[in-house]
Amino acid sequence: MSKMPIRLTVNGVPHEVAVEPRRSLADTLRDECGLTGTHLGCEHGVCGACTVLLEGEPVRACLLFGVQADGRAVRTVEGLAAADGTLDPLQRAFWENHGLQCGFCTPGFLMLATWMLEQPEPVDEARLRHVLSSNLCRCTGYQNILKSVRAAAQALGKWTEVAPVR
Amino acid sequence: MNWTGRRLPRTEDPALLRGEGAFTADLAAGARAVRFLRSPFAAGRILSIAAPDLPPGALLVTGADLEGVGAIRPELFRFNYRAIAQPVLPRERVHFVGQPIAAVVAATPEEAEDIAEAVLLDIEPEEAVVTIEDALRPGAPTLHAEAPGNVVVDGTIRHPDCEAAFARADRIVEFSLRSGRQNATPLEARAGLAAHDRATGRIRLTASCQMPHMLRTGIAALLGMAEADLQVVAPDVGGGFGQKMALFPEYPLLVWLARRHRGSFCWIEDRNENLIASAHSRDQIHHLRAAFAADGTLLGLEADILANTGAFSCYPTTCGVEPLMALAEYPGPYRLPTYSARARALATHTCPAAPYRGVSRPVVTFGLERLMDRAAAALGLDPVALRRRNLVTEFPHVTPTGLTLDQASYVEALDRAVEAADIPAFRARQEAARREGRYLGLGLAVFNERTGYGTPAFAARGMGIVPGYEVVDIAMTPAGEVEVRIGASPHGQGLRTALAQLAADRLGLDPSRIRVIHGDTDRTPYGWGSFASRGAVIAGGATQLAADKLAARLRRAAARLLQAEPDSVTLRDGAAWAGEASIPLTEIARRVHQRSEQLSDLGGFNLAETASYDPGGTFSNACHVAEVEVDAETGHVRILRFLVVEDAGRLLNPLIADGQVHGGVAQGIANALLEEVLYAPDGNPLTGSLADYLPPSAAEIPHIEIIHMETESPETLTGAKGLGEGGAIGAPAAIANAISDALSPFGVDIAELPATPARIRALIRNAR
C-alpha cells in the first residue's frame, strides 16, 4: 500500500515521515517516530494505554490514523520529563505514591492526568474518578493512581475539596 | 539503618514513568512480523490450508512444515492424569476457536494480516464440547483418545470416617456453586521476538513471560535444539497474573522461524487473540455437602470439584493445577475433622486453562464462605460466631489433606475486621435502608492462602516438572556495587526494590548500591519465576542467604585488612567495622579485585556467592469485608465499603504490599461482578473485545481499606509470607456474601459468579 508523507510535531520536535493511510497514530508514533512510550493495550479504544494529547486534547492514538495528525502537534509521555530525565511533578507523584506496578498503562494515565491538570477548572474527588475511569489498569486497583494524581493536583494548586459549580 | 520494612519508592519506576521502559513490542524494530491464523471452529478436521500468491519475502508456515517439532505434553504422575498433547501447529484437527493453525510472515504487521486474510482454510466442522455438562454427557465427543470421557485428571481423597460424621450431624448443608470463566487480562498481551545471532548461531527469544528459564527448557526440548543455544529474555513485562507462565505454541514457532530463516521474527498479540486464545481460568462447578453439630461445629465436608480446563493441558503446571489445588486446599483455615473429595479436570473445545491469580482459591473461598453463611442461617447462629468456632487457633495444625498450617492469625484477623466493620452500626443502617426499599448487605470472607511453597508442594502433585526452589548469585563489583542475579522473574511486583532492601540490611549498604538483575537466562541462575505468591518468600529467602554469605566474605577480608578477628567485624553504613577501626566496602572490593596479593593468604579469595532456597511453604491469611447496596429493580451492585485485614507476615516494603492487595481486590471484584468469558453453544467465543469482557475501571473499584497484621512465619527465612494473590481470593466470596445478605428478604443465595445484574434479577424474580 502506498505511503503518504506527513509532518507532525511531537513534543515540540518536528517529524517528517511517510505512512500508509491505514496506519494508526499509535503505530506512527511508535514505529516511524521511534517513540515507544505510547503503549497499545487493546487497539480498539477501550483501555486508553495509548492516550496522547493531540492539539492539547486527550485522544486514543489507536483510534486515529497517523495521517490525521498531519500538520498537528502531539504530546506523548516522552515529553513530560525534563531533557536530563528529571521527572515532572505528576510523574514524581506517581513514583512516590506507587501509582504504577507493571507500568504498561502508565503512559496513558499520565497523559490523561496531564490534560486534566492543565484545564482551568479545579479537580475534586468526583472529577478525578470520572476522568481517570477513561483508562484501564490491571495492576493497581486504581487506588494509588488516584492518590498520585490527587497529590499532584494538590501540589499544583489544582485540588478542591468542594465540587465546582458547573 | 533498617531498609527492610520501609515504604521505599521503587527503583523500577523512573524509566517506566518516562516512557522509557522496554516491553517486547518496543524492541521489535527491524524484525519481520508474524501473524497467526487461528481456527474459526471449536472442533473440526483440517482438509487443506491453501496459500494465496505470496509476495516476495512472505512466508506461510503450517503444521506440515514442522517436521520433527515435538508437541507440548506436560506430565503429571498422579491423580489419573492422562497426558494429552498440543501440537505447535496442528495437522489434522482443530480443538478450539483461536487455536493457531498457521503463521504468516511479512515485512509489516499490516501486510501479514492482509496475507492471513487471503489464506483459504478448509476445515470440516465437528460437534463441539463446550461446557462441563457437555463434557460429562454420555456419548459426548471425545477430544483426546488418551482421555476417555474427556476426563484428564481424576483425583480423590477419601476419609473413612467421613460418612460417620454425616450420620451424627445435626444439620447437613448442601449446595452447588458455579464460577464463570475468566481471562487474567494483563494490559500488555503476549508478545515474542525471536532473533538469530549470526556470529554465534544462537537465538534470543524476548518474550512477555513469567518463567523465562522454564520457557527456554521447554522450547529447546520441543525443537530438539541445544538449550545453551537459546537465550530467553523477559524484558519489562506488562502484567501476567499467571497467564504468562505457560509455554504457548506461538513461542516455539517464533524460535523455529528464527533458526530456519536466520532472522528476526516478532509476534505482538492483539487483544482479541489474548481474550480468546491465550489462557482462561476459574471455569468450575463445585458441589459441597457439609455436616454440622447444632452448636455450629463443622464435623465433615464432602466436595465434588469439576473444572473445565479447555482443549489442552498447560505446560508446566498441567490442567491439574485448578482441580488439584481445590482438592488439597478446600479445608481452608477451618478445623475440619474429616474430608472426602473428588476433583476432575475436563477437556472441552475451549481455550486451555492456566493459572490465574489465586488459581482455584477464589472459587474455594466462595464455596467455603457461602457455606459458613448458609450454615449459620440454617442453624440460627451468628455467622461470625460460627466462623470463630471453627477457625484453627493452634499451630502448627495439620489439615485433613496433610498440609501443615504455620503460625497465623485467623481468629484475630476476623476479630479486627468485625471491629473495624462495626457490624451493629451497619445492621442499623441496613434496617433503615430496608424501610426505604433499599437493600444493603455486608459479607465476610475469611481465608488462608498457601504461599511461598517450594518443590515439596509441587512434587506432591506428581508434576513431571517440579518447580519451587530459587537460586541467587550475588557478587560485589571492583567499584563496590552489589549485583544480585535472581532466577525469579518479576513483572510489576517490585522485586528489584524489595530484594535490594533485604540485601542492603545484610550488607550494611545503601540499596541504591544494589542492582537486582532478572529476566535473562544468560545473566541469571536457573530459577522459576514470579507466581504463587512466592517472590518475597523464596527469591527473598535466597537473596538473604546469598547476601549473608557475601557479608561473611566481606567480614573475612575486612578482618585481614584491619587485622581483627572476623567475628568482631560488623558491616554498617557502607563500611566494615572492628571497634573504632573501619574500612569502606568500596576499598575492600577494590583490594580483593585489584590488589589481591594483599589477601593472598586467604587463597583464591573473591566476592561472589550463590545461594539456593527451597522452603516448604507458609500460609498467609486475611479477612475481607464488603458492604454493598443492591438495586433490586436493576440487579446492579454498588460496593459501599471494602475492608481488608491482611496478615502476610513481615512486610518487606509496605508500599508495595498495599499495591498488591489493591490490585488483587480489584481483580476479585471483577470476578464477583463483571468479568466472564462466554461461549456460544457451538464453541464460538462471545467475549472477544474489551467491550464484551469487562475489566473494571476506576468507576467500579471503591476505596480499599487495609489493616495489616504481621504474624511472622517461622517457616520462611525473611519472616514474610506471600500476598500477591490474596486480594483476588477473598473479594469474590465477601461480595457474594454481601449480596446474599442484602437480598435475604427475597431469600436469594448467590451461587454463581459473576453476579451480573441479569443473574441477580433472575434470582429475585424466581424467588418472588
The tens digit of pLDDT for each residue in B607-646 reads 999 999 999 999 999 999 999 999 999 999 999 999 999 9
Decide if A160 is inside a domain: no
CATH class of B31-126: alpha beta
Are A23 and A74 part of one and the same domain?
yes
Residue B533 has pLDDT above 90, yes or no: no
Domain that holds residue A41: 4-79
Q: What is the ipTM of this complex?
A: 0.98
Beta-strand pair B203-207/B230-233: parallel
Contact A25, A66 (CB under 8 A): yes
Q: Are residues A27 and A93 in the same domain?
A: no
Instruction: Give contacts of B29 with chain A, Cβ < 8 Å.
Output: 31, 34
Cell numbers that stand for B728 in this block: 483476588
Please give the full DSSP string across B513-544, using - where no structure is assigned: GEEEE-SBTTTS-S---S-TT-IIIIIHHHHH
Contact B655 A98 (CB under 8 A): yes
Report the percentage of chain A scoring pLDDT > 70.
98
Does the distance separating the beta carbons of A22 and B188 come in below 8 Å?
no
CATH of the domain at A57: 3.10.20.30
| Inter-residue long-range contacts of B562-570, CB under 8 Å, 24+ positions, other chains counted | B570/B508
Indicate the CATH number for domain B456-613.
3.30.365.10
Q: Give the end of a domain, one of A79, A106, A130.
A: A79
The answer on A51 and A93 residing in a single domain is no
Same domain assignment for residues A75 and A130: no
pLDDT given for residue B465 in this prediction: 87
Is A66 part of any domain?
A: yes
What CATH code is carried by the domain that includes residue A129?
1.10.150.120
Last residue of some domain: A50, A79, A108?
Answer: A79
- Share the mean pLDDT of chain B: 96
Angle between helix axes B726-742 and B361-379 (nearest 10 degrees) is 30
Q: What are the Cα distances from residue B149, in Å, to B285, B325, B635?
A: 17, 22, 38
Probe site for chain A from B646, B697, B706 (most A CB atoms < 10 A): B697
For residues A75 and A96, state if they share a domain: no
Q: Which of B21, B491, B690 sits opposite A42 (nearest CB)?
A: B690
Nearest-neighbour CA in chain A from B687: distance (Å)? 13
Give the confidence band of B715 by pLDDT, cuts at 50, 70, 90.
confident
- Strand order from edge to edge, sheet including A13-19: A13-19, A4-10, A73-75, A51-54, A57-60
B665 with A141: Cβ contact below 8 A = yes
Nearest-Cα distance to chain A for B268, in Å, is 10
Average pLDDT score over residue span B449-466: 89
Task: State the average pLDDT over residues B198-213.
Answer: 97
Return the SS3 of B212: helix
What was the pLDDT predicted at B52? 86
pLDDT in tens, B646-685: 999 999 999 999 999 999 999 999 999 999 999 999 999 9
The answer on pLDDT for B451 being more than 70 is: yes
Cell of B432: 433503615
**pLDDT score, position A163:** 60
Q: What are phi and psi of A65, to 5 degrees?
A: -85, 150
pLDDT tens for each residue of B363-410: 999 999 999 999 999 999 999 999 999 999 999 999 999 999 999 999
Domain count across chain A:
2
**Per residue in A38-71, pLDDT tens?**
999 999 999 999 999 999 999 999 999 999 999 9
pLDDT beyond 80 at B345: yes
Indicate the residue among A39, A58, A79 that finishes a domain: A79
Is B359-453+617-767's fold the same as B456-613's? yes
Give domain limits for chain B. Answer: 31-126, 359-453+617-767, 456-613
Question: Cβ of A136 under 8 Å from any chain B Cβ?
Answer: yes
Q: Any chain B CB within 8 A of the CB of A139?
A: yes
- B387-424 burial, b for 16+ CB within 10 Å, e for fewer? bbbbbbeeeebebbbebebbbbbbbbbbebbbebbebe
Q: What is the DSSP letter of B8?
A: P
Contacts of B656 in chain A (CB under 8 A): 98
Q: Give the pLDDT score at B623.
A: 98
The answer to whether the CB atoms of A98 and B237 lie below 8 A apart is no
Q: What is the pLDDT confidence band of residue A76, given thresholds at 50, 70 and 90?
A: very high
What pLDDT is recorded for position B726? 95
Nearest to B698 among A44, A106, A146 (CB): A146
What's the mean pLDDT in B327-341? Answer: 97
pLDDT tens digits for B236-268? 999 999 999 999 999 999 999 999 999 999 999
pLDDT of residue B741: 98
pLDDT of residue B252: 98
Same domain, A94 and A75: no
Who among B14, B26, B662 is closest to A95 (CB)?
B14
Nearest CA in chain B to A132: B698
**How confident is the model over A115-166, as pLDDT tens digits?**
999 999 999 999 999 999 999 999 999 999 999 999 999 999 999 987 655 5
Residues 210-239 of B with CB under 8 A from A: 236-239
CATH 3.40.50.800 fits B359-453+617-767, yes or no: no
Phi then psi dihedrals of residue B528, to 5 deg: -110, -55
Q: How is residue B281 written as a grid cell?
A: 481460568
Count of pairs with CB atoms under 8 A, one residue in A, one in B: 176
**Cβ separation of B699 and A100 shorter than 8 Å?**
no
Residue B601 has pLDDT above 70, yes or no: yes
Q: Is the confidence at residue A85, as pLDDT, over 90?
A: yes
Residue A113, domain member (yes or no): yes
Distance in angstroms (rounded) separating the CA atoms of residues B576 and B558: 6
Shared domain for A73 and A115, answered yes or no, is no
Task: Pick B493 or B585 by higher pLDDT.
Answer: B585
Judge whether A18 is closer than 8 Å to chain B, CB to CB.
no
**Looking at the domain assignment, is residue A120 inside a domain?**
yes
Q: Which of A65, A146, A61, A71 is nearest to A109 (CA)?
A: A146
